[in-house]
Amino acid sequence: MRRLFLGIDVSTTGAKALLIDEKGAVVASATTPLTVQTPKPLWSEQNPHEWWMGTWRSIRDVMAKAPASADEIAAVGLTGQMHGLVLLDSERRVLRPAILWNDQRTAAECDDIRSRMGGKAHLVEVTGNDALTGFTAPKILWVRKHEPEAYAKAALVLLPKDYVRLRLTDVAAMDKADGSGTLLFDLRARDWSKEVLDALEIPPAWMPETFEGPEITGRITKKAAEETGLREGTPVMAGGGDQAAGAVGAGAVRPGTVAVTLGTSGVVFAATESPLVEPQGRLHAFCHAAPGRWHFMGVTLAAAGSLQWYRDTLAPGVPFDTLVAEAAGVPAGSEGLLFTPYLSGERTPHPDPLARASFVGLTVRHRRAHLTRAVLEGVAFSMKDCFALLEGAGLPPVSQVRIAGGGAKSDLWRKIVSSVLNVEIATVNSTEGAAFGAALLAGVGFGAFPDVDAACEATIKVTGRDAPDADWTSIYDAEYGRYRGVYPALKPIFESL
């Protein structure tokens, strides 16, 4: 009988189930769409019950597609969107809609956290991160201040994928990679920080036990087996937050290999052997899903999301391929047109929820193709911002950059990114992202691979390379200097708006 490993990814837009075999070959995939609510400006919420409904539907769908029996699925790994607050009562009932990673309502609470921790510098030293609106801790403080009735009933804090874990296993648990993204972790200790919890007056009893990515956290219950079609007793591994699991899925688990993701958000991810910290907190410093490793992460909140917004708003109904083909006919630099991708505020290098996107330099010469290319280039410039910080924070020399995400399917966009960064970009055979990484972690925990490094070596291969265009790089070096000047010039206007 074959042995399969199931990766579950609870993302912002869909609940995905992915089956792989012991050699890492994808057997089947299924995704159930999810919806996001924005009841007020700056708010972003989801109903946790929808995650569960989407998950069990996708599990049943993927088993039917494979087809696979419950006995063939040896283990389950979990991943999902990071930072979201799921607040439950003592009966483990959801108290309010989950507040998501891209919610921007908590600026005042971030200031409060810095004050309670004796300043930003000490907060960064302990947790590896500055207080940002997307993180979990300020969300908890926001509920305490604005929804005291819900806060008074709270007894458990989970992250999105861990609510699904609770429904699968009846166990409250969290992996260390995702836990370190709450702003409540001691980065070096790889567990909850008593100092931070005490300073923020958050009861330690609310925080679940944490585990390394391949560790078993629980097993499929009889009730969950009936709902999902999985076998009762199937082990469920800790997994990792979507970026750490995605890095496992791309093979970015050792220092020297950097992963770039062009998804809805854009991410630059670099593994480290020790808990390095960028002193000003402009880079995220988290635990890796690979045991005993950490990582730096730079994030731009609207990468492929910028192209999606641009198409939907200014060219509705036009295929992405058509837009990108037009942009390929425009010279590098878009004839002096710049785009800053701050459609949802920004994280790296400007942790500013009030930052706004902009086209700068429009003239009567510019056509739709210029605007499209400027969007592609602006996202690449935002990635260069992240690389610049990595270089200044003690990152080991980069031997390879691996690219993934929906935007990485574009030959033009990959070439632009390669030329802006002036490095060779590699694509790999694993294109399923975080779900693939979660499935690999399940395989490691089950014993199909001796460790995470071995799992990546056995299953992930480079399939293509994109080299920088020297002429483009020369142009982009000059354009990047101008791009860097846009945010400080417009920051006062962003705040006034």
Give a three-class secondary structure readout of 208-245. CEEECCCCEEEECCHHHHHHHCCCCCCEEEEEEEHHHH
Q: Residue 35 — very low, low, confident or very high, per pLDDT cuts 50/70/90? A: very high
Residues 327 and 412 sit within 8 Å (Cβ to Cβ): yes
Length of the chain: 497
Q: What is the pLDDT of residue 93?
A: 98
Catalytic-labelled residue, pool 9, 103, 175, 242: 242
Q: Which of 353, 401, 346 is nearest to 378 (CA)?
A: 346
Q: What is the pLDDT of residue 430?
A: 85
Give tens-digit pLDDT for 206-219. Answer: 999 999 999 999 99
Residue whose pair of structure tokens reads 């779900």 in the numeric block: 435
Q: Residue 394 — very low, low, confident or very high, per pLDDT cuts 50/70/90? A: confident
Give tens-digit pLDDT for 276-293. Answer: 999 888 899 999 999 999
Is the domain spanning 4-250 CATH 1.10.150.120? The answer is no
Cβ within 8 Å of residue 96, ≥6 positions away: 87, 143, 147, 150
Looking at residue 352, the DSSP 8-state letter turns out to be B
Region 296-312 average pLDDT: 94
Please give the CATH architecture assigned to the domain spanning 300-427+467-496: 2-Layer Sandwich (3.30)
Cβ within 8 Å of residue 402, ≥6 positions away: 250, 251, 252, 257, 258, 259, 260, 425, 426, 427, 428, 462
Whether 242 sits among the annotated catalytic residues: the reply is yes
Q: Residue 77 — very low, low, confident or very high, per pLDDT cuts 50/70/90? A: very high
Cα distance between residue 285 and residue 321, in whole Å: 36
Question: How many CB atoms within 10 Å of residue 90?
Answer: 9
Give tens-digit pLDDT for 470-481. Answer: 999 999 999 999
Cα distance between residue 223 and residue 257, in whole Å: 42
Q: Helix H segments across 154-201?
A: 160-169, 176-179, 194-200
The structural domains of the chain, with segments of one domain joined by +, span 4-250, 300-427+467-496
Two structure tokens written together for 32: 């159930």
Give tens-digit pLDDT for 148-188. Answer: 999 999 999 999 999 999 999 999 999 999 999 999 999 99
406 or 216, which is more confident: 216
Predicted confidence (pLDDT) at residue 320 exceeds the cutoff of 80: yes
% of the chain surpassing 70 pLDDT: 100
Predicted confidence (pLDDT) at residue 380 exceeds the cutoff of 80: yes
Q: What is the pLDDT of residue 454?
A: 97
Cβ within 8 Å of residue 80, ≥6 positions away: 8, 9, 10, 11, 51, 159, 160, 161, 164, 178, 241, 242, 434
Q: What is the pLDDT of residue 497?
A: 93
Two structure tokens written together for 100: 């998501």
Looking at residue 409, the DSSP 8-state letter turns out to be G
Q: What is the pLDDT of residue 140?
A: 98
Give tens-digit pLDDT for 328-374. Answer: 999 999 999 999 999 988 989 998 889 999 999 999 999 999 999 99
Same fold, 4-250 and 300-427+467-496: yes
